[in-house]
Structure 1
Amino acid sequence: MLATHNRIGEDLMAEQRNDNYQGVWDGRLGFGNKTALIVIDLLQGYTTEGAPLYAPGVVECVSEMHELLAAARKAQMMIIHTQVRYNPHTFVDGGVWTKKAPVLKSLVEGDPSTKFCEGMEPLPEELLITKNYASAFFGTSLSSTLTAAGVDTLLITGCTTSGCIRATAVDACQYGFRPLCVRECCGDRHPDPHEANLFDINAKYGDVISKQEALDYCSSL
């Protein structure tokens, strides 16, 4: 009985939330003229049980990514991968973030957690960006690279939804790109922050689209 009552309460809150945002924070951007796929930090540290960074939702994300990555490659879409690396002696390049989240200190060259997940390894012709903070834009050449390539839309995938995905989506919007987050191809440690951040991204900064929408787009190229 308690479970039923809680479910009704959650459904009511979701309905109130959607009513509150509808017509105010529900615009759509859609695809622009040229799209790139960005695969954020799909490293083994997030998919290895027992590892400090392990996030069950990322395991599901990787399983969904194989099909989308293959489709983007077939469509000859620009593909960008990101990874995180720190100086293992000082972590000075991690600044305050590695003080706030010391778990990130496992992301140093040579640590098994920094290897790409099986099947997610960048091809030689695909761009690999090394970053030190959440956003793939912060302190990197990503914005200039996309602009020079004529890209105006970014298909955002990877992990984690509440961290690097959200930060990248917000910066993409602020730099003038259309951020399109692929729901099934983003993952986090827990469903609650995953869903909350997708909801917020979709409301304020970009579009959250289904994997099928992304696959259909790739097929159309």
Structure 2
Amino acid sequence: MTDESLSSNYQRAFGKRIGFGARPALILIDFVEAYFDPACALYAGVEDALAAALTLQAAARRAGVPVIYTNVVYDADGRNGGRFYQKSMVLHHFVEGSPMGRWPKGLTVAPGELVVSKQYPSAFFGTSLASTLTSWGVDTLVITGLSTSGCVRATCVDACSHGFIPIVVREAVGDRHPAPHEANLFDMDAKYGDVVGLDAALAYLETSSESVRA
């Protein structure tokens, strides 16, 4: 271990920015009722993250940028959840039909917008998301959602692995505690994609309409 500061140590090894690509899509990861109901063990107090994501959703719709949503859905006995379902004792809240898996108040899916139902953390694992984005000509995935240390991080890493530019919007992701939230934002920004502020993401989406519609 070195006595060098964390920021200077990482700046030497991981200080590069990717930047925005030409054709974005916006993804809202697992914004479901479980994280907003205080009676649920998954409650995380992430209302501000949802508000920021909805601001981005409105901007993307105005610009004609594709908007994608994910949720987690399991068979009644969890058999399609594998080791993830076995490990995490709260995933029973996402058995098909559970009210905890519904969209929270204020979040609506418009006709023609894509919903990806998954069983594992990444929006890419076991789904057709990568093929769909490729067929749309998308090169950049603007990432919002829950939780920062779980499904957001997994999706960011897999977006990078599949050749998409991951742009994680700081104000539009959330976690149940600030420690894993900040640690994972730091690490994603260092190694896999760019973590940006809400204003920068909005400006990007608002100037993307011409390239997306071309």
Which category describes the TM-score, using the shorter chain as reference length?
A: over 0.9
User: 1:87 aligns to what?
Assistant: 75
User: 1:201 aligns to what?
Assistant: 188
Instruction: Confirm whether residue 63 of structure 1 aligns to residue 51 of structure 2.
Output: yes
Deviation at 1:44, TM superposition (A): 0.7
Q: Is the 8 A contact 2:170 2:196 kept in 1?
A: yes
Distance (whole Å) between structure 2 residues aligned to residue 134 and residue 42 of structure 1: 13
RMSD of the TM alignment (CA)? 1.2
Identity %: 50
Q: Is the 8 A contact 2:24 2:142 kept in 1?
A: yes
Deviation at 1:124, TM superposition (A): 1.4
Deviation at 1:117, TM superposition (A): 1.4
Distance (whole Å) between structure 2 residues aligned to residue 215 and residue 175 of structure 1: 24
Q: Is the 8 A contact 2:165 2:193 kept in 1?
A: yes
Deviation at 1:122, TM superposition (A): 1.3
Deviation at 1:121, TM superposition (A): 2.1
Distance (whole Å) between structure 2 residues aligned to residue 117 and residue 21 of structure 1: 38
User: 1:8 aligns to what?
Assistant: none
Instruction: Confirm whether residue 131 of structure 1 aligns to residue 131 of structure 2.
Output: no
User: 1:150 aligns to what?
Assistant: 137
**When the two structures are aligned, how many residues end up with a matched partner?**
206
Distance (whole Å) between structure 1 residues aligned to residue 51 and residue 66 of structure 2: 21
User: 1:181 aligns to what?
Assistant: 168
User: 2:42 aligns to what?
Assistant: 53
Deviation at 1:92, TM superposition (A): 1.0
Task: For structure 1, list consecutive stretches of 5 or more residues without a partner in the other structure.
Answer: 1-12
Instruction: Confirm whether residue 170 of structure 1 aligns to residue 157 of structure 2.
Output: yes
4+ residue stretches of structure 1 with deviation over 3 A? Answer: none
**SS of the residue 1:52 aligns to:** coil
**SS of the residue 1:113 aligns to:** helix
Q: Deviations over 1:70-103 (max 9, x none)?
A: 1111111011100100001x21111011111020
- Greater Cα shift, 123-132 or 64-73: 64-73
User: 2:212 aligns to what?
Assistant: none
Deviation at 1:109, TM superposition (A): 2.2
Distance (whole Å) between structure 2 residues aligned to residue 29 and residue 124 of structure 1: 32
Larger Rg: 1
- 1:112 counterpart (99, 105, 108): 99
